[in-house]
Structure 1
Amino acid sequence: MADTSPAALAKELLAILDRDERRIERIDDYIHGRHDDPYMPPQADDEYRLLAKRAVSNWMPLLIGTPAQALYVDGYRAGTAGAGLPKASSSTSTQWAHWQRSRMDARQAAVYRGALGYGHSFVLTEKTKKGVMSKGLSAKRTAALFEDPANDETPYAAITVVSKPRGEMPGKARLFDGRNEYPVQFKSYTDPDSVRVGTGKRHGANECPVTRFAASVDLEGRTIGVVEPMIPLQDRINQTIFDLLVAQTYTSHEVRYVTGMAPPLQMEMLDEQGQVTTDPALAVDSRPKLDAAGNPIPAAINHNARRFLFAEDPDVKFGSLPAGPIGSLIDSVDMSIRHLAAVSQTPPHHLLGQIANLSAEALLAAETALSRKITEFQSIFGESWERVFRLAAEMEGDTAAQDDFSGEVQWRDMESRSLAQAADALGKLGDQLGIPKRGLWKRVPGVTQTEYEDWEQMAEDDDSVGQLATALTRATPDTASTSVPASPDSEAVAA
């Protein structure tokens, strides 16, 4: 039987962090522009190495940021709390109050970027002095154990490193299982004998409060982000740009040459005794300066675009060598970037900046692959957020909401459409298909959860005023239509 004691779990989780550290550090290096050097000759000088440093063109942040900027949770629709009970309002629900308290409107982007970059990230839900709050955890410092990593959403244990070992100071971590949280100290990931686990305390949930956000999980439980598959293509782009810089530096300029002309020599002054002097007043003669081998040293020629060379000897010939072509290298860079766009499902105009002369249909077709990719991420991350909301409700003591598996997060529509287009489309949906108008309010571009609920409240207020006016109208008799019987005297006067 496997050992599931806190100490055994801590050792296993730290070993996982050690196993994945090299891979995640490599991904982190590529995200932040620390790429492998392009190939260069073994005897490359400092100029070559400088060109290799400048050849790094980091596309990884764009591959992460493009889908991440389209992921924004804007609300949460709670499911039915019980049989026959209505759905709760988002702004007043326990789950959404926890979201606002955790400042997740701003912090959610870091969770998505971590998952897209490294393949997975985590969110910890815990009780604090301010109430139940959630925060993101990096994959570089956090690991979790699953019985079935491909299908389970709930880990049975997780650890997050608070501080790494420094000198004699041990590292500190927090271990979570299904009921308790334990403080952990360790000297190294690879030294299980140094692991010390303290006394546990209840964390307030009946399952591990750490939730995994995975960009993609295969049936083996392996997670992969958008960076790691693109590293070979990124290296290819860097190599091509390095070759372009080398060609620009050494072969892209016209070279001028001269034949049949002896270069001027460096001269040194001699005094009356034939000794070398630097005082022009004592100089009586001069001779060419010699190097260690006894050969004359040529003088440097200050030649630029403002100067020209001439020679008295008619046998001297001047000429020039044409510059080497670099157009093929520029085309190669363009092709490599297009390959990167195709493999990463990123629209080419996002990477190349070429958007001129594209019709609306062409732009829509270019964005289709990215839209499908974003929809997939929304489905995956949405399930993770729903577990976070259930954990928060459980810790808050909301027993009905903690078992709410029919609730769902609401993603903001980030497509760029004009308000006039949206109003026309929504009007047709309401008029032609008979969809209730309130059901279309959430599809208005840019509307927030708070605005939506304000509209609902104003609509209810208007309905209440209208119902009151109708009731008063019905209760008031119509004097104009009421008949009054005439008296005998009035009839006589009329006669």
Structure 2
Amino acid sequence: MPQPAVQSPEWWRDRLYEKLSKRSEETKVFDDYYECEHPLPHLHEKARAPFRRLLQMSRANYMELVVDALVGRLEVAGFQSDVDATGDADQAAWALWQDNNLDGGSSLAFLEAAIRGNAYMLVSPDKRLGFRITPEHPTQVITEGKPGEPGEMAAALKLWVDDWTSKLCCTVYLPDRIYKFEAPEPKYGDTKKPQWVRREVAGEEWGGKNVLGEVPFGELANRPRMLKPGASELRSVTGIQDRINKTIADRMMTQEFAAFPQKWVTGMEIPVDANGQDVEPFDVAVNKILMAEEDGARFGQFAAADLSGYLKAKEADVHDIAAITSTPPHYLLGSMVNLSAEALKAAEAGLIHKIYQRRRFLEEGLERTMRLAGFASSQARIVWKSPEWRTEGELVDALVKMSTLGVPREVLWERWGATPQEIERWRKLSEDALDRALAGDVAAEYGPKPTATVEPAVADAEE
């Protein structure tokens, strides 16, 4: 079969399909670790089947905590324009965000980006909303940039299985055209390339025009590097998770066979059966009493197994995870003993710094998404909710001190955590509220304002 021409739709289809398949296979391990589908701890092959239940119980999923600690504080609060004083662009951008249910949709994309390294936002024209924005899974979408032009996308591929028709479908997005293909759904384990054919859609011309004029995806990359794509938050700690599981498995084996003290007895005759074989004289259990008729019989027990070594080893590994991922140790260990507010803030400093770093690259994808939807970057700057958790008393005290320095009230409201929409509403209400407050103060101090009256004599004269 002849190879497709370079940069033709078929060439992009085959190229991106191969890259997507490879990346999905490589990142599946991180998805498994997040879902607590860890490899079972190592045991001798003959011992794996009898102790499989204990091995499955030994999986303690710290990977989920690492990811959720980051994603739980990534929340878009609104949009803020640097050039539009009326706030109309901010309101329009936020309305589009809400119409597309992106409060939850963005969180899903952030989660997948933290697990697998990348996620995407697809922008497509919509008659009702103007533009539809949907989060896309990294196993279904991949993009490729233009060589030598950072930030410019050359092509994208979206791949999915149509459950209604049992077809493998894909769409190739180029800056000027959109092409659709389909193939029979591959069987499990089949490594052959799909036999693609053009996908005909009722009422839609194959190879339709791309009305956006750009590849319609915003890429949300987690911890990318200059020559490498985004990477999973779990990339450096899956081995430590395996160590923890192995330690727990060993501890459970010890608990099963050595935590109950073994008994011993001397000075008594061991009974035998009819064949002359020794018979165990006692059925040892927690609710049993051992008795012997011989005068010289003596009972005792060996010391129970010490589990403290296992517990310390596990705790040391958990501290390694906390240090490598900048996750506060008390999130993973679940213990907080006499920690002051300053100590808690210091413990979370690494996590807060990591969140600010991750947001820089997520912002690039979100801003591109909003630009594709018709909002210039200066009209849709992303406003995030603060990742720092502080008590209201601490926050109010800081804001009061800032106000004495002449900081504008809108900035104080933003520092308080108000969204751009709340700030705009407060701005409209503040003048009326201030006028009412001032009127109340004047009335309390000087009494009600006198009203003009007309003397009766003067009134008669005027008549």
Secondary structure, in 3 states, of the residue corresponding to 1:454? helix
How many equivalent pairs are there?
Answer: 425
1:411 aligns with 2:384: yes
Is contact 1:15-1:190 (8 Å) kept? no
Task: Give 2:61's match in structure 1, choosing from 35, 58, 63.
Answer: 58
Distance 1:18 1:208 in 2: 20
For structure 2, the residue ranges without an aligned partner over 5 or more in a row are 200-205, 438-450, 453-463
Give me the identity figure in percent: 24
Aligned match of 1:431: 404
Aligned match of 1:382: 363
Aligned match of 1:261: 269
Aligned match of 2:461: none
Aligned match of 2:345: 364
Aligned match of 1:241: 248
Aligned match of 2:140: 141
The alpha carbon displacement at 1:298 in A equals 4.7
Superposition RMSD on alpha carbons, in Å? 3.0
Using structure 1 for the length normalisation, give the TM-score.
Answer: 0.78
Distance 2:193 2:49 in 1: 45
Letter in 2 for 1:262: I
1:452 aligns with 2:459: no
Correspondences of 1:146-295 after superposition (within 5 Å) = 146-148=145-147, 152-163=150-161, 169-187=166-184, 188=186, 191-192=192-193, 194-198=195-199, 199-259=206-266, 260-263=268-271, 265=273, 288=274
Pair 50,111 (structure 1): closer, same or farther in 2 beyond 3 Å = same
Is contact 2:80-2:90 (8 Å) kept? no
Distance 1:460 1:242 in 2: 66
For structure 1, the residue ranges without an aligned partner over 5 or more in a row are 266-287, 394-400, 467-478, 481-495
1:341 aligns with 2:322: yes
Secondary structure, in 3 states, of the residue corresponding to 2:33? helix
Give the number of the structure whose alpha-carbon radius of gyration is greater. Answer: 1
The alpha carbon displacement at 1:190 in A equals 5.0
Is contact 1:386-1:409 (8 Å) kept? yes
Aligned match of 1:332: 313
Pair 125,45 (structure 1): closer, same or farther in 2 beyond 3 Å = closer
Distance 2:42 2:431 in 1: 69
Pair 463,321 (structure 1): closer, same or farther in 2 beyond 3 Å = closer
Is contact 1:159-1:175 (8 Å) kept? yes
Pair 364,158 (structure 1): closer, same or farther in 2 beyond 3 Å = same
Is contact 2:271-2:278 (8 Å) kept? no
Is contact 1:142-1:159 (8 Å) kept? yes
Summarize deviations over 1:332-383 as a string: whole Å, max 9, x none: 1110100110001101111112221122222221111111000111211112
Distance 1:190 1:145 in 2: 23
Distance 1:421 1:262 in 2: 75
Is contact 1:165-1:171 (8 Å) kept? no
Distance 2:63 2:44 in 1: 27
Pair 197,435 (structure 1): closer, same or farther in 2 beyond 3 Å = same
Letter in 2 for 1:321: F
Aligned match of 2:87: 88
Secondary structure, in 3 states, of the residue corresponding to 1:211? strand
Distance 2:167 2:210 in 1: 24
Secondary structure, in 3 states, of the residue corresponding to 1:225? coil
